[in-house]
Structure 1
Amino acid sequence: MNYDIFNGDADGIIALLQLRLANPIESELVTGVKRDIQLLENVPAKSGDRLTVLDISMEKNRDVLLRALEVGAIVYYADHHRCGDIPKHENLQDHIDLDANTCTALIIDKVLGGQFHLWAITAAFGDNLIAKADKLAEQAGLSKSQAEQLNELGTMINYNGYGSKTQDLHFHPAELYLALLKYPNPFDVIADVDSPFYQLQSAYTQDMDNALAIESCHRSATLSVFELPDRAWARRVSGVYGNYLANQKPDSAHGVLTDNNDGTYTVSLRAPLNNKQGAGDICSQFDTGGGRAAAAGINALAKADLNRFIKAVEDFYA
């Protein structure tokens, strides 16, 4: 049995997209909302199964990974999040790169020798690696207009991954992946008026307008924090809104809180774009927190711990 296990954001979807455009296989798709990262728990791995795991933290899935390897599953693992100690096992092929200026789709791009390089650039834009993606686009000979198109497409795919449950999303990530698999070139998605791009574009505009109307609840030279309500639109837009804020003020960290209506917040934290470090370490200090150096989150931050979170961010970047 083949399992393709991938994060439901732009990076996870496009990492798998490149692999399956290069090497089509029949597989069981295992994915979810962006914050659903302990996806290996959903795989009943047995001897001889092949697991392709993309864009989810090895550290967060380590115990299940070890069990899968012990029963004889063969695992291909590519990621750029916190990994902990990488197991040494003959059945594990790992491509882990924790550089703050890479993403899983760019790792796969290297493995494939750039076969679907335009898709990798699209993923880099979606993962908010704007400077890196702009440079890659220029090196690929794309015009500024073409780079902007890939930026918007990557942003739309990433936007679709945010929510507390898949019902919040416009497309289930597996459905969106399958829809995009028809297009070897990302410009073909934009050229097709019936592609998911246009539905996401319209919805994104509405959700962002709602977010931009909200004032910050904390602001300093180091950190700005915005609180969004317990609404589906807020859960959908939280991550891309955090990316938008980071790009507006690259010397500041940004936190986006979404009210979970249970005494907790879902938190998206963006490190300053000019100092892309620490976000994962900060969020990992809190239960249900984790991520990478440039962008991280906490699934359920108790409201009573908000001041402690703000202090941790302020102290780190001061």
Structure 2
Amino acid sequence: MNYDVFNGDADGLCALHQLRLAYPVKAELVTGVKRDIKLLDRVQAGAGDWVTVFDISLDSNRSRLMQLLEAAVHVEYFDHHYAGEIPRHINLVSHIDVSADVCTSILVDRSLEGRFRLWAVVAAFGDNLGQSTRSLVGSMGLAESQIEQLAGLGKYLNYNGYGDSVDDLHFHPAKLYEEMKPYPDPFDFIARSTAFNLLAAGFRDDMAMAGSLLPLSEEPCHAAYLLPDAPWARRVVGVFANRLATDHPSRAHAVITPTRHGDYAVSVRAPIAKPEGADMLCMKFETGGGRKAAAGINRLPMDELDRFLAIFAEQFD
């Protein structure tokens, strides 16, 4: 049996889509909201089964990964988040690069030698990798209007991945993948899929709400925003953080939202001008992790907000 395990954001979706366009298999899909990263805990694979993993931290899934490998499960792992020590095991094939200028879909693109590169471009835009994305499209002969279309799709797919639970999302990520599956070319998806239009409309409405927000704290080198307890706010947290980062490339940003558990979810973006430190900051908290340029804390206790803000300011001053 095959299992495809993927982050529910643009990068996870596009990484999976590229690989399965090249190597289609019937697989059980295991996914969730963007912050639902311990996905291997849901995989009940046995000896001889194949598990392919996209865009979730190996370090966060280490215990279950080792159990699967020792049970003679074959695992192929594509990721760009903090991994710690990568296990050496006969049943593991890893494609891991934690450089700030790559995303998981770029790693899949490398393994496929660019066969479905347009989808890697979509993912890179979704992950806010501006310079890397321009490098990808440099030799493709795309018009600026086409590049803008791919950038929009990346934003919308990424936007759909954020929420406290899948109930906050416009599409369950597994359903959204099924919507993407018939389209080797993202321009055809944009032109023909009703999912694209629904995501675009939802994005515009939610970002219009975010446009009126004022910062909780603001300094030349960093700013933090506290969003209201509402589904639209939980959906925009990632794309709002990316927009702030793009609009103020020399400044770090933290976007904080209340969760249904009575704590906070936090998205952190390092300055685009110096894309590092976000992962190290978030890993100082129990449920934190991510990558150098963009990271997060899944559940920050309310009484730790002031401590977080102080460490955030110290990190990026």
By the TM > 0.5 criterion, same fold? Answer: yes
Whether contact under 8 Å (1:134, 1:147) holds in the other structure is no
The residue number in structure 1 matching 2:200 is 201
The residue number in structure 2 matching 1:264 is 263
Q: Larger deviation: 125-134 or 65-74?
A: 125-134
Q: 1:34 to 1:262 in 2, by over 3 A?
A: closer
Per-residue deviation at 1:138?
A: 2.6
Per-residue deviation at 1:63?
A: 0.4
Distance 1:52 1:306 in 2: 36
Alpha-carbon RMSD: 1.0
Partner-residue secondary structure (3-state), 1:269: strand
Partner-residue secondary structure (3-state), 2:138: helix
The residue number in structure 1 matching 2:182 is 182
Per-residue deviation at 1:139?
A: 2.3
Per-residue deviation at 1:217?
A: 0.8
The residue number in structure 2 matching 1:230 is 229
Whether contact under 8 Å (1:75, 1:91) holds in the other structure is yes
The residue number in structure 2 matching 1:105 is 105
The residue number in structure 1 matching 2:162 is 162
Distance 2:262 2:156 in 1: 30
The residue number in structure 2 matching 1:244 is 243
Q: Deviations over 1:88-137 (max 9, x none)?
A: 10110000001100000000000001000111111100111022112322
Aligned residues: 317
Whether contact under 8 Å (1:78, 1:94) holds in the other structure is yes
What amino acid sits opposite 1:77 in the alignment? Answer: Y
What amino acid sits opposite 1:306 in the alignment? Answer: L
Partner-residue secondary structure (3-state), 1:159: helix
Q: Deviations over 1:202-252 (max 9, x none)?
A: 000110011111111100112111111111111111001100100000000
Distance 2:108 2:133 in 1: 15
The residue number in structure 1 matching 2:89 is 89
Whether contact under 8 Å (1:229, 1:258) holds in the other structure is yes
Residues 34-113 of structure 1 correspond to what in structure 2 (within 5 A)?
34-113=34-113
The residue number in structure 1 matching 2:171 is 171
Whether contact under 8 Å (2:80, 2:97) holds in the other structure is yes
The residue number in structure 2 matching 1:114 is 114
Whether contact under 8 Å (2:282, 2:296) holds in the other structure is yes
The residue number in structure 2 matching 1:21 is 21
Per-residue deviation at 1:189?
A: 1.1
Distance 1:47 1:190 in 2: 40
Per-residue deviation at 1:303?
A: 2.2
What amino acid sits opposite 1:222 in the alignment? Answer: C
Per-residue deviation at 1:263?
A: 4.3
Distance 1:165 1:245 in 2: 24
Partner-residue secondary structure (3-state), 2:272: coil
Per-residue deviation at 1:70?
A: 0.3
Q: Larger deviation: 126-135 or 280-289?
A: 126-135
What amino acid sits opposite 2:26 in the alignment? Answer: E
Whether contact under 8 Å (1:9, 1:157) holds in the other structure is yes
Distance 1:238 1:23 in 2: 34
Q: 1:196 to 1:302 in 2, by over 3 A?
A: same
Partner-residue secondary structure (3-state), 1:139: coil
User: Is 1:255–2:254 an aligned residue pair?
Assistant: yes
Q: Deviations over 1:16-48 (max 9, x none)?
A: 000000011000000000000000000012100
The residue number in structure 2 matching 1:288 is 287
Whether contact under 8 Å (1:32, 1:166) holds in the other structure is yes
Distance 1:120 1:3 in 2: 22
What amino acid sits opposite 2:136 in the alignment? Answer: L
Distance 1:85 1:233 in 2: 38
Whether contact under 8 Å (2:164, 2:260) holds in the other structure is no
Whether contact under 8 Å (1:269, 1:295) holds in the other structure is yes
Give the alignment's TM-score, normalised by structure 2: 0.98
Per-residue deviation at 1:301?
A: 1.1
Distance 1:172 1:20 in 2: 19
What amino acid sits opposite 1:276 in the alignment? Answer: P
Distance 1:261 1:191 in 2: 36
